[in-house]
Structure 1
Amino acid sequence: MSEAPTYSLLIVDDDKAMRQSLLALMAAAGWQAEAVSRGDKALERLTTMVPDVILSDVRMPGMTGLELLAALQPQLAPPLVLISAHGDIPMAVEAMQAGAYSFVEKPYEPRRLLSILTHAAEQSRMRASNNRLKARLYELSGLDRILLGRTQAVAHLREEVLDLAPMEEAVLIQGETGTGKELVARALHDLGPRAEQPFLAINCAALHPDSFEAEMFGTAEGGKGRLQAASGGTLFLDEIGACPLAVQAKLLRVIEDQQVFPTGAATPDAVDLRIICATNEDVDLAVVEGRMRQDLLFRINTFILKLPPLRQRLDDVMLLVAHFLDDYARVHEVAVPELDHEDVATLMAHDWPGNVRELRNVCARRVMLARRGGGTMTAAMAQTPSLEEVPETLREAVAAFERELIGKAIKAHEGRMDAAAETLGIGRRTLNEKIVKLGLNKEALL
């Protein structure tokens, strides 16, 4: 039989007899407890001590218990239980609304007080465990690199992704072009229980009603479609707002019934898909204007993730710039360009209509300018990419460019495919497909 855990308590009370009484009670209960006489002394002690619970008197000279509660950081501080001989219902309500875990009146009943403190300690330990787990998930998944940033908006987005990833419910990702909607969708997939299954990304703007069923559902004679092949995984519907109405009706049937009818088949095929959608437009307005089915919207917006535009997180710009410049410099085997005050001012003055994607492209051009021995951020932002010497056909030019860039990324990251894919701004699966299509030999590159 395992022993009960030892919890710790910080007692804050200006009454010496009460402090001694509480210390004796907690010692008898097997707790580790310390006591201070004032709220400011409690704040000072909390710089070096992290108790499971704080038990504080309400009326004290200098700083009241409610003022102590207000001075604590809600997401980081231990739960606080208030105790007072002058307690009444309005004070208890105010304390709970302010974030107190519970409220106890003096004279206290020992069993009830111990029960409240034990429950508070258990919650505190669980929250700390969850925080450690999330930190470990960040480390394992690279989520803090994929969704890079220190602003509150990005930190909150990372928390939401971790919370929603294990779920099966549909998620609608809203954000302007270039904010990273597909990156978020892939993170939801990669951190969830379907990570080892396919991730099928479909650009809804490119879907056509006439060819949709044959391509997505397959045919009775020609075999399975893309949806059957992705069964067990995640279906990512990008630009859902641009999906033709006729296709929306067919997608709705798939989402509702989790089955598809191959063209010409008499019986349906069952599919098991988690649905994640993304859009850069106002879906409620699209419903009002008749461009989106309301029943489809109700099926895809169980949870909504809103991605902030870069202009609303300018404090992250220089962090992103440093990240992108470092990655592209490694790919192109040049020193990371140094930025001066004029470069920084140029970057911070821009409103970034293309968001993070635009910033990444500017950094790529800045590194290319550095390869030629010069360049500024102003020049990189004004530069229109040009091709000096290219093959005769566009297909050959694109293939040659992709082959060179992918090869350099793989070499720069010493074969770490996730890191190479991130630098290139594509998913790991897409990178693998391009390696095969372009005939690249990964071992030869290394």
Structure 2
Amino acid sequence: MTDNRVLIIDDDRLMRNSLVDLVEAAGWSAKSLARATDAERWISQFRPDVILSDVRMPETSGLDLLRSLISAPPVVLISAHGDIPTAVAAMNHGAYSFVEKPFDPKRLLLILSHAAEAHQMQQSNLRLKERLRQLSGVDRILLGQTPQMHRLRDTIAMVAGTNTSVLVKGETGTGKDLVARMIHDLSPRCDAPYIAVNAAQISAAHLPHIAKEASGGSLLLDEVGACPADVQPALLRLIDAGEVLSAETGVPEKVDLRIISATNEDTDAAVRAGTLRADLMFRLDGFSIELSPLRDRRDDIALLAMRFSQEFATMYDSDPPVLRDDELTALIAHEWPGNVRELRNLMDRRAMMARHGMSSIQEALSDGEASSMQPSGQKSGLREAVAAFERQMIGKAIQSHAGRMDDVAHDLGIGRRTLNEKIVKLGLDKDALL
């Protein structure tokens, strides 16, 4: 048996049925149509690896179909009226191959197999390019040349290919959610769903739905140290037995997923305090990854700052400023309680301030500290402009990605948690935008 799918289009019912019998006997899945006018709808629904179409048909011919398709699987044309000019026209318009009736069944199946392989390879390359595009957001967090970052990248590459549960630890802003996403994207489950949830906010009743949605892929449990006590037994069953109890019937349902957890808390202390089950923690912590705070890898600060500076200069259509020695000194001297996220926000603030005639790191740092202390209702015009700009960018991204928040976060180059925080802070109504 194969996983190949072929869409057959022929107005001759006997020939159409004969072709279906031939390919199904070879293990293919087939969908047959009598008219080419229905082709585009079925290409979207059936998602064939190859289209096998007669040339001469009423309303829309095989050549007309070939000319009309913009993005479609390979097309193999077949005709009892084939001649050299028709074959040349078919190939010039992008046909994968041209076969005359009567045909050799073995040769036709071989042509279809080669066409399907070419399509599947093309689709695989497209998926790889998309994953690399998505990984660009992760790369901004994993950028660095310190020993800690080299070890982190090597560890992610090593653990991604396994199916073990992973616990990602680190302070707020170190990039735990993006590291978890990278583990999924580099794993054999990369084409399956990646679902991220806040473990502190899920219920036992909601867990079966989440687990089934993530089945086949990976489930990130963020803030796992704050997982409610009544959810922990269900989570333990999910990990141990690979099943959840149906919310409707109470019957066990099998799911296949990888659990990745993230926390900025001391999980050992949570176990000692009795808020986190020791047996659950043991299973979640199949492999631990500890993310270093930015203050412990100060040699990476200048590199990260320059990367973020270039990013925001592009965003604001301005030239990236050169960091002076005194600015680098200020960056390296700062303690970075918000880690890489704080540095990225600082460079965003600096780029925005440069458009208003203020362009030093010291001013951006002071502005950030002042905004964290300033009472509500006393925001400066600059901060209002920054908020308006962020509100506009996030709103457009939500609309362009139809509310898919993982895609929105990757498009903006920020983590899901940061995106959620900004949506709340800026008072955005996601439903109203869609």
Which TM-score band (shorter chain)? 0.5 to 0.7
Aligned counterpart for 2:413 among listed residues 421, 424, 433? 424
Q: 1:408 to 1:273 in 2, by over 3 A?
A: closer
For 1:346 and 1:390, the matched residues in 2 are separated by 22
Amino acid at match of 1:214: A
For 2:414 and 2:408, the matched residues in 1 are separated by 10
1:315-336: CA deviations, max 9, x gaps? 0000000011111111111221
Q: Note the C-alpha offset of 1:437.
A: 6.0
1:345-389: CA deviations, max 9, x gaps? 111111111111111111110011011122311111121454749
Give the SS at the match of 1:226: helix
- Matching of residue 362 in structure 1 with residue 351 in structure 2: no
Q: Note the C-alpha offset of 1:214.
A: 3.1
- Matching of residue 287 in structure 1 with residue 276 in structure 2: no
Q: 1:438 to 1:335 in 2, by over 3 A?
A: farther
1:26-61: CA deviations, max 9, x gaps? xxxxxxxxxxxxxxxxxxxxxxxxxxxxxxxxxxxx
Q: 1:315 to 1:336 in 2, by over 3 A?
A: same
Cross-structure match for 1:244 = 228
Q: Percent identity?
A: 40
Aligned counterpart for 1:214 among listed residues 198, 205, 212? 205
For 1:232 and 1:181, the matched residues in 2 are separated by 22
- Matching of residue 319 in structure 1 with residue 303 in structure 2: yes
Q: Note the C-alpha offset of 1:403.
A: 3.5
For 1:155 and 1:437, the matched residues in 2 are separated by 41
State the number of aligned residues. Answer: 281
Q: 1:356 to 1:145 in 2, by over 3 A?
A: closer
Matched-pair contact (CA < 8 Å) for 1:331–1:409: no
Cross-structure match for 2:260 = 276
Matched-pair contact (CA < 8 Å) for 2:309–2:347: yes
Give the SS at the match of 1:178: coil
Q: 1:278 to 1:194 in 2, by over 3 A?
A: same
Cross-structure match for 2:285 = 301
Structural mapping, 1:129-278, within 5 Å = 144-207=139-202, 212-217=203-208, 225-278=209-262
Q: Note the C-alpha offset of 1:253.
A: 1.5
Aligned counterpart for 1:378 among listed residues 350, 362, 366? 362
Give the SS at the match of 1:213: coil
Cross-structure match for 2:21 = none
Matched-pair contact (CA < 8 Å) for 1:170–1:274: yes
Give the SS at the match of 2:220: strand
Cross-structure match for 2:393 = 404
Structural mapping, 1:30-41, within 5 Å = none
- Matching of residue 353 in structure 1 with residue 348 in structure 2: no
Give the SS at the match of 2:262: strand
Give me the CA root mean square deviation: 3.6
For 2:318 and 2:388, the matched residues in 1 are separated by 23
Matched-pair contact (CA < 8 Å) for 1:153–1:313: yes
For 1:330 and 1:249, the matched residues in 2 are separated by 49
Amino acid at match of 2:276: M
Relative to the length of structure 2, the TM-score reads 0.58
For 1:277 and 1:242, the matched residues in 2 are separated by 11
Matched-pair contact (CA < 8 Å) for 1:162–1:188: yes
For 2:205 and 2:161, the matched residues in 1 are separated by 32
Q: 1:324 to 1:407 in 2, by over 3 A?
A: farther
For 2:197 and 2:409, the matched residues in 1 are separated by 23
For 2:334 and 2:397, the matched residues in 1 are separated by 30
Matched-pair contact (CA < 8 Å) for 2:177–2:415: no
Q: 1:438 to 1:233 in 2, by over 3 A?
A: farther
Matched-pair contact (CA < 8 Å) for 2:170–2:292: yes
Q: Note the C-alpha offset of 1:196.
A: 1.0
For 1:390 and 1:285, the matched residues in 2 are separated by 39
List gaps (5 residues or longer) in structure 1. Answer: 1-136, 218-224, 392-396, 412-416, 441-446
Amino acid at match of 1:317: I
List gaps (5 residues or longer) in structure 2. Answer: 1-130, 372-378, 401-405, 421-427
For 2:343 and 2:411, the matched residues in 1 are separated by 15
Moved more, 178-187 or 267-276: 267-276
For 2:399 and 2:210, the matched residues in 1 are separated by 29
